[in-house]
Amino acid sequence: MTSLQTLLEELASDGVTHQRLGDLALLGSARVAAGVLDPTTYVGVDNLLADFGGRRDAGYGVNSSGAVAFDVGDILIGNIRPYLKKVWLADRAGGASPDVLVVSIDRAHRDSLLPRFLYFALASERFIDYSMRHAKGAKMPRGSKAATLDYRVPVPPLEVQREIVRILDHLTELEAELEAELEAELEARRLQYAHYRSSLFSGSRERVVPLGELVELKAGKFIAAAEISAERDDTNAYPCFGGNGIRGFAPTWSHEGDRVLIGRQGALSGNVRRANGRFYATEHAVVATPREVLDTSWLFHALTAMNLNQYVSKGAQPGLAVSTINAVPVEVPTFQEQIAIGETLDKFDALVNDLSIGLPAELAARRKQYEYYRDKLLTFEEASA
């Protein structure tokens, strides 16, 4: 019998009390002046990391209206798009954006509820699912403060809380170590893949032509941000590609077919993506349309290997001019060689990047396993009233 089971039998044999979060904690409302905050003490929604990943320093100034004060031990929850799972246990005092909920344990319960136990109870799939069920808005769902306060939290005896925190901290540490090992192996695979890809493109060639003679390069069309949905639904059914991949989903489409796209604005200009079927390309994405019969897989990998980011203009607004990349020379093998190269590199690409196979799948499985045990440890039979 484990120590946790022993504790539960000794201290909570009749079940565990569940209470409203609002009866245990308060939502912060006190303001802190913007002038006393800096990037290490200000927390906005966008510098809370997804998937319960913690926080990073803010890269912008604090809103002039000030921020909601928080202290060590408070739990901060990103209240916009709850499905991103932005929950952080504060290890410092500071100020948060009004779009971040600050949960502070009420003084009357600080002797019976551990901040880290409450953090684990809120950094859970159960709480995120609950938040999404009560969220308002389709394109940018926002959690309900009232519903958050109504969420029922198990409050086992302190000894049980401490044991659960100890177990979950240990599991978190193990998960981090395993993920670091898998990420290192995955990075080695990526380097191996890049090396192999380069060797395939440095072999025989039939001809060398400027990229503009091989494909027509044309930027997509403007679409207002308000028209783009974060989620695919019946109204917004078409993937919308910007300069760095899919931005969301649009109600209409501008292109169809198996196409290659190149980002053209910002520091990530030159990144290469692939789209299939009907999709919308914004003005920040350049669509490559073949002028002759080409294997699309070969074209995608060839443009990726060319490292088009090296041609990005310097300055405050870096960008990739179509006229510049039109002139970049491309080594073109025969069509049969294109097919062979495309098929080979598609397999390598899937091994490295596809979440359904290989190491990425193992990483995802580890995370799911951790989520399962975390939620199981936080599930208790409720004591009768």
Q: Per-residue pLDDT for the chain (385 aa), expressed as one digit of tens each?
A: 468 888 888 888 888 999 999 999 999 999 998 788 888 999 999 889 998 999 999 776 666 567 999 999 999 999 999 999 999 999 999 999 999 999 999 999 999 999 999 999 999 999 999 999 999 987 789 999 999 999 999 999 999 999 999 999 998 888 888 878 878 887 888 888 888 888 888 765 778 999 999 999 999 999 998 898 888 888 999 999 988 889 899 999 999 999 999 998 766 678 899 999 999 999 999 999 999 999 999 999 999 988 898 888 876 667 888 899 999 999 999 999 999 999 989 888 887 776 556 767 777 788 888 888 888 888 888 887 6
Are 258 and 353 contained in the same domain? no
Can you give the pLDDT at residue 1?
41
Q: And the tokens for 364? A: 């995802």
In a domain, 192, yes or no: no
- The enclosing domain of 97 has a CATH number of 3.90.220.20
In a domain, 193, yes or no: no
pTM for the model = 0.64
Task: Tell me, yes or no, whether 200 lies in a domain.
Answer: no
Residues 23 and 33 in one domain: yes
One domain, residues 268 and 385: no
| Domain contains 65 | yes
Position 270, amino acid: G
Residues 145 and 165 in one domain: no
- Do 37 and 130 fall within a single domain? yes
Q: Could you give the dihedral angle defined by the CA atoms of residues 314, 319, 322 and 323, in that order, rounded to the nearest 10 degrees?
A: -20
Structural domain contains residue 373: yes
* pLDDT on residue 275: 94
Both tokens assigned to 96 = 């948060």
What local confidence, expressed as pLDDT, does residue 197 receive?
Answer: 81
Residues 31, 65: one domain?
Answer: yes
pLDDT of residue 151: 97
Q: Which domain holds residue 324?
A: 207-332
Same domain, 25 and 137: yes
Task: Please indicate, yes or no, whether residues 145 and 24 belong to a single structural domain of this protein.
Answer: yes
How is residue 84 annotated by DSSP?
G
Rounded Cα distance between 166 and 160, Å, is 10
Q: How many domains are contained in the chain?
A: 3
Whether residue 202 lies inside any domain: the answer is: no
- CA dihedral (2, 88, 127, 382) positive or negative: positive
Answer yes or no: do 112 and 220 share one domain: no
pLDDT computed for residue 181 by the predictor:
84
pLDDT the model gives residue 356: 59
Rg of the chain on CA atoms, in Å: 26
Is residue 370 one of the residues assigned to a domain?
A: yes
Domain end, chosen from 332, 350, 371, is at: 332
C-alpha torsion sign, points 327, 279, 272, 220: positive
Pair (52, 127) in one structural domain = yes
Are 327 and 343 part of one and the same domain?
A: no
Give a yes or no: residue 301 inside a domain.
yes
Q: Does 86 lie in the same domain as 37?
A: yes
Of 385, 382, 384, the closest CA to residue 152 belongs to 382
Within 107-157, residue ranges assigned H as helices are 115-122, 125-133, 145-150
CA distances from 328 to 146, 180, 213, 268 (A): 58, 38, 10, 18
Q: How far apart are CA 216 and CA 290, in angstroms?
A: 6
